[in-house]
Amino acid sequence: MGSANDNKPFENIVYTWLGTDTGHTKLRTHDGAPATFRADAGSCSIRFSSIWLLFVTGVGMLIHIYSTGTWRMKAAYYRFFGYLNLFMFSMLTLILANNYVLMFVGWEGVGSVRIC
């Protein structure tokens, strides 16, 4: 039997990346308070994202192992693995993002990495 906080996400906020915490915005909430915008750089993990973490890191590990033998004698060996690790970082950012802005950064990182 599970505990009471099985369905709560684990969130780790590192810092506020984008924000309007000064209170000088002209937008107001329904009760009249100044509306704030915050995009925190951090990670959020739930059960579904944990499954995707295992899948992406497992497949990424297999690609790294296979590619070591394939790219051993090629001139672009270091560049290939640099781009592959950048792709893995972008995929993990996409999975663990705790807001839509950071998820967009991960999405664009995945789409912009050209490995070959």
**pLDDT tens digits, 28-51:** 778 877 777 777 788 888 888 889
All residues at 6 or more sequence positions from 91 whose CB lies less than 8 Å from its CB, including other chains: 56, 60, 106, 110
Closest CA to 12 of 38, 40, 43: 43
For residues 38 and 18, the answer to whether their CB atoms sit within 8 Å is yes
d(CA 61, CA 88): 10
- The predicted model scores a pTM of 0.72
Assess whether pLDDT exceeds 70 at residue 115: no
